[in-house]
Structures are given as C-alpha cells and as structure tokens.
Amino acid sequence: MGNLIATRPPQPWTAPTASDPVAATLRLPGSKSMTARALVLSALAGGPSTLAGPLRARDTELMAAGLRALGAHMSISDDERWLVRPHPLVGPAHVDVGLAGTVMRFVPPVAGLADGRITLDGDPQARTRPLGPLIGALRSLGVRVDAPATGSLPLTVLGAGRVVGGEVVIDASASSQLVSGLLLAAPRFDRGVVVRHVGPPVPSAPHLRMTVQMLRAAGAAVDDGTPDVWVVEPGPLAGRGWQIEPDLSGAVPFFAAALVTGGEVTLQGWPRSSAQPVEQLRSLLQRMGGEVTLSTGGLTVRGTGAVHGLTADLSDVSELTPALTALAMLADSPSVFTGVGHIRGHETDRLTALAREFTALGADITESPDGLEIRPRPLHGGVFETYHDHRMAHAAAVAGLAVPGVELSDVACTSKTMPEFPALWSAMVTGKS
C-alpha cells in the first residue's frame, strides 16, 4: 500500500453544487499523454517538429524542461503551437520530474543517449513510485544507472552518448509507462529494442497503443503483433507536425456532471479517429446511464436523470477511477471496480485515499487489493483531502455537484494537468463564463 502524504492548506475550495442540469460546450486543453510522447519523439527526431494544441500544465512543462536540460531546443511560449528543434543530447544536467510519471519513466532512456551525467529527482511522493523494472531494463541494455536499492528516485544516468539496445525482459504490471519509455527512445538505440513483458497484465493498454501509433507516425518500424512483446527497429525519427487531441481523461469529470445533473456536456474538437480510449469511456458512461454521441460538433454526453452502478474492470482506463468512483457514490445501485491495484502507486495510493475521503463524507466504500466496492447512500459535506493528486480533486468536485459543503483541501493540484479546472468547473455549474 502506498504512502499517503497530506498537507492541508488553510483555505479549502468549496465545490459548487448544481441547482440545475448543466449545459456546457467546452474546449479542453490537449492530452497530457499525447503531448508528453510528442515532446520526446520531437527531441529525438532528425528535424524540427511542431505541437498544435498542446497541454500546458505542470507535467508537460516539466517534460519540456527536462528535455531542454538535455540539449533539445524548446519554444513553448505560444500556448497554441510549440516548436521543438532537436540538438545533440549532453550532460551534465538535472531533471526535475515533479510528480509526473511520464517524466520519470520517459526521460531516463533518453538520458542514456546523452553524453554526460544526468540526475533525476522530484517531489517527495515521487520517490515512492516504482522505477525498479525500468532501471533494471536500462542496465541490461547497456546504460549505467546509479539508483537506491529501493529502485526509485533519485537516480543518475551516466550517459555514454549511445545505447546498444537489444532484448530486454521487464515486469511492467505496475505501469505501461515502463514499456512506453523504452519504446519511445528505442529507434535511436544501436540495435533498437525487443521488450518482453513477463508478469501480471500490463495496465492502461490504450496508452501503449498510443505509443506505438505515434512512433509509427514519426517513421519508426514497430511490431506489436505478438502479445506482450514490442519490437522497435533502429532508424531515424522524422520531425513533423503533431495535432494534439483534447484530453479525454480530463474531460471525464465534466461528462460525469452531465450524468449527475441530468444535463448535457459537449467536448469540442474531438477527432473521428482517436488515439485515446474513447470507446471504453463511451461504454462505461452508457452503462452508468448516459447517452454518448460523436458529431461534427464534438463528443457529447447527456444525462438521463438516473445514474446506475456497474461492475467493471477498469485496468485499461485506470485514470478514470476517481471520477467514476464519485459517480458511483451517487448511483441507484452498488458498483464494483477491479483491475486497478496499480493506482496505489500513482500520485498517492488512490484506492486508500478514495476509500478514506469518501468514508469521511458518509460513504459505504470498501477497498479490495485491486479495486473498490461502493454501496451508495446519502453523503454529507466536509473537507476532502486531495493528497496533491489532481484526480482526487476531480472526484471531490463531482461529488460536490450533489452534496453541498464538499471542500477540497487543495484545488491547485489540478494544475498538474489542467490549470483552468477550477474556473471551467465553476462556470459549467453556475452557467456563467
């Protein structure tokens, strides 16, 4: 079970309660997952790249800063269009990973390609997140890594300017990012890479599919036809224009608001073909009582006036667990969520944190090793500790739609992926932009 780090600032933020069905059309920031991958691929490319509609948030700014520290030229002053010019990767450099899993898992393989000493560290809670399998994999591929015996931050990569590459066996059951980090840098390895996963299923499979899709878009040869095996051939990566999709996981609290209030929320700018797990989300929201449609106007979710419980394996969409848990609290029947034991190692132990904070609001919720059991009953207001975790803040905001007096200990943590969240949320609930 992960550590729970709680610091309660003096002025909690009271989540607005909805008196009417919400009716909102939103244009949300870009996908964190796509922005992070595009930054890495652009830094390793043979020519300049642009990112249109990127996410500007703490995680992505840390990624840009980390790659800049290694030598890549990053121009991110324009919110709508970022420019990346690759440059030889060199040390010494220090990379602040903050609490970003993408930075702590994507940058070390890139650092192996740098010529020099690269150190990585982050927020205190970041030191509890699992990096051991990645450290072991890098060492087996010929990268010198100094790290604590715990297999965690802080770590030092002693880059030699090249990585031999080859075949590696890894247990990536704690995070698909452990595989994605290796794959993204692999075209620049002398022999590419063959990654074989051995262990419990890799969670968040859609994120791995996104990694493969974006590698191919940059010109890499990738074979993922064998289950739990990924082969990336050595070769150049092309600079290109990346169109970043709106962030689907960031949209989920807003979609949940449509169900809770019997309203309607449209996310503008949604592509017909997506690298994100939109079909899984569509299925989950429909089972919980929503109507989901995709049109030229965007992705729209309508509430039907009822929220239903469900039993679901969320292993592919684990980042949705907090918001869906809040939705399940307000349902007309129990819910059981499984397949998300790995989120105990996210920004906080999310399962323990969700159970603890919703119990404090009067909920009947039980942890299991890999999920939660939720039996809806009336909730009351109170302070909801966010543990510096943006997804916890999203869950509290969803609950506050129907429960007056839910106070978030720290709404500022939403800046990790969506600095605009408090303003967007309040405008949606009140109907005032």
Question: Could you read off the pLDDT of 227-271 as tens digits, one per residue?
Answer: 999 999 999 999 999 999 999 889 999 999 999 999 999 999 888
Q: pLDDT per residue over 173-227, tens digit each?
A: 988 999 999 999 999 999 999 999 999 999 888 999 999 999 999 999 999 999 9
Contact (Cβ atoms closer than 8 angstroms) between residue 317 and residue 281 = yes
The H or E element spanning position 292 is: strand 290-295
pLDDT > 80? residue 5:
no
Q: pLDDT per residue over 266-322, tens digit each?
A: 999 888 888 898 899 999 999 999 999 999 889 999 999 899 999 999 999 999 999
The two tokens of residue 172 are 């990536």
Residue 122's CB: how many other CB atoms inside 10 A? 19
Q: Where is the binding site, in residues?
A: 32-33, 37, 101, 129, 175-177, 204, 319, 346, 350, 391, 416
pLDDT > 70? residue 380:
yes
pLDDT band of residue 130 (cuts 50, 70, 90) is: confident
- The predicted pLDDT at position 433 comes to 54
Q: State what percent of residues in the chain have pLDDT above 70.
A: 97
- The predicted pLDDT at position 35 comes to 98
Catalytic residue among 245, 319, 347, 357: 319
The two tokens of residue 310 are 């469900």
In CATH terms, 32-243 corresponds, of 3.90.1150.10, 3.40.630.10, 3.30.1490.190, 3.65.10.10, to: 3.65.10.10
Q: What does the CA dihedral 131, 136, 139, 141 come to, rounded to 10 degrees?
A: -100
Q: Report the distance separating Cα 81 and Cα 52, nearest Å.
A: 5
Q: Where is the binding site for 3-phosphoshikimate, in residues?
A: 32-33, 37, 175-177, 204, 319, 346
> How does DSSP classify residue 68?
H
Q: Where is the binding site for phosphoenolpyruvate, in residues?
A: 32, 101, 129, 177, 350, 391, 416
The two tokens of residue 237 are 């990566």
Q: Report the distance separating Cα 322 and Cα 100, nearest Å.
A: 18
Tell me the HSE value of 280 on the side-chain side, using a 13 A CA sphere.
22
Q: What is the pTM of this model?
A: 0.88
Q: 203: cis peptide before it, omega within 30°?
A: no
Residues of the chain within CATH 3.65.10.10 domain(s) are 13-29+247-430, 32-243
Q: 92: cis peptide before it, omega within 30°?
A: yes
Q: Report the distance separating Cα 95 and Cα 208, nearest Å.
A: 24
Q: Which CATH architecture describes the domain 13-29+247-430? A: Alpha-beta prism (3.65)
Active site (annotated) includes residue 233: no
